[in-house]
Every structure is written in structure tokens, then in C-alpha cells.
Amino acid sequence: MILHVDMDAFFASIEQTINPRLKGKPLIVGSRGNKMHTVVCAASYEAKALGIHSGIPSREAFARCPNLEFVSADQSKYIWTSEQIFQLLKGFNLPLNYASIDEFQMDLASCPNPVSLGKEVKEQIYANFNITASVGIARSWLLAKLASKLNKPSGLTEINDSNFEQVLRQTPLDKLCGMGGKNGQIFMAQGLQTCWDLYLNLPQFFEASPFFSNENPGKSNEKPKSVSHSYTLPKNEINPQVIRAWIRLLSEMVAVRLRQQNLVSATVHLWLNGPEIGNFGAQKTQQAQTSDGFEIYQRALKIMAKSGLKNPRIRLIGVTCSNLSWATYQPLLSEEIRREGLIKALDRINNRFGERAIYPAVTFLTH
């Protein structure tokens, strides 16, 4: 059995705890200080009731509710709270997976009473942080995640043999993790409307575990297909130095994640958006695989140079590395060995002293 913990409107709940004046009010957390030029990172349940959800432009949210409260995101408090919840859950001494900043999964194979454990998890989170979580319990991570979403906020739902069919019959397919986008549309076009329809056609889908292996709980065995980071600038940016600085920063962020997962990439994809160019994306595959942020940056610049873009205004920048393999290559050339030593040293410094302890000077232009 898997227990899935999903924090309720995580960022918004923390902001409402910090500032009690915001409790019970429609609130959005935006990713940037200017409240009319950002996107909604999180919405309180009061805002969700008005049809406001994360991902929509803040301007649209304010159009729906002019009295909406706005707080600009401060990620440090969300990271700290997330890590403290992870530490709290570690205290239960069960295999634990850090699924995302507001989601955690526990393997309950050795737990005699999952429901009472779920209650205790919820109570301890509320007692320590004054915010609520919804808990789902089921035989696979996918069903547990689905269960956690069925009775939000502060729900506790178990999907077991007795209610399995009923729950799946009542749940539209697009509520299932991984079925919200094109996958869901493809299945729905084939006449599958509910999760039960999918189960009848593809029962193994509900048992498979891309992130949290049921056979080997707590360990992620499959490598991701791609690693990417993107950023929407506060305004259209024409300064090529600033644009390059952002490409460098995003390349470094992608590279750090590649190295953390012991991966290397052969394909670098650069995507840009701006008023003149619309959506631009191009990629380049090279034989030499890399997890070096500077190398990814150089390849991204080459893509940009070859694209023929002449100093366009840019609003969104994204860097993606795909075609991933496990890193097994041992450098032979002295310059490669020196470079690898440098990267390892930088990673050790940042791991020990915090993410921004040492970073390429050019990325200072992004501040």
C-alpha cells in the first residue's frame, strides 16, 4: 500500500498562516512582485471556488475577482516548510519518496493500520505547521495520488477492493495523473470517459509506477526523458547580455539537475517567446554528451546564432536537455579532467553552503 500526502493549496496556505488577515479570503500567490504581470503559482480554496487556479495569468484572475488578495512568492518559506514536512514524515520510519515540493509518498508494506497512520500524518502536519494536507491510500502510487485529490481539502481517502470500481467509475479520466493533457485527449477521443473505462482497457496502467517503484519502494529507477527550466521575464527584454545571462542561468540549473541524477544529455533544446518571433524552438544533437552548464549554454547560443534571429525582444526563455543517458564517460584529456574537477568542486561548495554560494558572474545580470 502507498500513502500519498498532498498539501492543500500549499503556498497559499502558508501565506494565510503567516498573515491571518488573509484567512478565508480569495488569495493568489504570484511568481513575481508585479501582481498584474505574472501567473498564478497557487490559489487558496476561496479563489479556486471562483474558478481561479494555478497557471492562469494574474490579470485574468483579477478580472474574475477584483477583490483578490495577492502575495508575491517567497520560495524560501515554501522550501523550508516542505523540507520540514519531509523530516517529520521520516520520523515514521517507512520508505519515503519526495515526489514534489508539496507531495510525499510512503510505502505502507509494513504498516498494519494505514488509515490511522494517515490520520496521524495529517494531525502532525497541522499541529506543526498549521496547514492541512490531504492523504490518499491505495495499492499503487497512481491510485494513492488520485485518492488524495478526491476529498480536498484535508481529506483522507482510501481506495481499496470494496470501493475501487465505484471510485474509478465516478472519476473523469482527466482527473488522473498524466491524463490532463494530450494523453487524456487521445484516450477520450477513443471513447474512454472515466478512469474505469481506462482500467477496463489498460489495467496495467494503474499498477505501473514511473516515479515510485512498487517493487522497490523509495527508489526511482527510470531516468527522465528530459530536464528543463524556463523563465518568463518581467517585461520584453532586448538586451542580448541579459538574455544570454538568463540562458546561462537556465543552462546551469538544468546541468545541476542532470548531475544530481547522474545523467548526461546529447540534445539541447532552446525555446524562446517574444512579440516578433512568437514561439521559437530549435534543438541540436551532438555526439558528445554533457552535463556541464557552460557547455549546454554554448550549444544553446549556437542554436540561437544559427536561427537568424536578429536581436528580437524576448519574454520567455527555456532550456531543455533530452536524449539522456547515465553518465559513464571518464574524461581522458587533461582539459576535460580539469573541467570536471572544477564542476565537482562547485557542486560541493553549493551543496555545503547553499545553492547560491558560488555561481557564474554573468548570471548576476538576471537579478
158 belongs to the catalytic site: no
How far apart are CB 96 and other proteins at their closest, in Å? 6
Report which of 10, 8, 28 is spatially closest to residue 72, judged by C-alpha positions: 28
Backbone angles phi, psi at 279, to 5 degrees: -95, 120
Out of 124, 154, 220, 267, name the contact with other proteins by CB under 8 A: 220
Out of 19, 113, 163, 170, name the contact with other proteins by CB under 8 A: 19
| Residue 90 is a binding residue for other proteins (CB under 8 A) | yes
Q: Which of 69, 103, 252, 295 is catalytic?
A: 103
DSSP 226-265: EEEEEEEEEEEE--HHHHHHHHHHHHHHHHHHHHHTTEEE
Q: Considering beta carbons, is residue 157 or 320 the nearer one to other proteins?
A: 320
Backbone angles phi, psi at 275, to 5 degrees: -60, -35
Quote the Cα angle for 87-54-269, to 5°.
85
Joined together, the cell numbers standing for residue 143 give 491510485
Give the integer Cα–Cα distance in Å for 245 and 361.
9
| Residue 338 is a binding residue for other proteins (CB under 8 A) | no
Q: Considering beta carbons, is residue 129 or 329 the nearer one to other proteins?
A: 129
Q: Please, what's the b/e burial string for 98-110 (b: 16 or more CB within 10 A of its CB; e: otherwise)? A: ebebbbbbbbbee
Contact region for other proteins (CB under 8 A) — 283-291, 324-332, 336-344, 350-358?
350-358
Q: State which of positions 122-141 bind other proteins (CB under 8 A).
A: 130
Q: What is the DSSP letter of 138?
A: E
| Residue 229 is a binding residue for other proteins (CB under 8 A) | yes
Q: Considering beta carbons, is residue 130 or 151 the nearer one to other proteins?
A: 130
Q: Considering beta carbons, is residue 151 or 262 the nearer one to other proteins?
A: 262
Conformation bin of residue 55: beta by default, left when phi > 0, alpha when psi is -120 to 50 = left
Report which of 200, 155, 198 is spatially closest to residue 175, judged by C-alpha positions: 198
Contact region for other proteins (CB under 8 A) — 81-89, 184-192, 201-209, 321-329?
81-89
Out of 45, 62, 98, 294, name the contact with other proteins by CB under 8 A: 98
Give the integer Cα–Cα distance in Å for 2 and 139.
6
Q: What is the DSSP letter of 176?
A: S
How far apart are CB 142 and other proteins at their closest, in Å? 15
| Residue 14 is a binding residue for other proteins (CB under 8 A) | yes
Contact region for other proteins (CB under 8 A) — 30-38, 47-55, 298-306, 318-326?
30-38
Residues forming the active site: 103
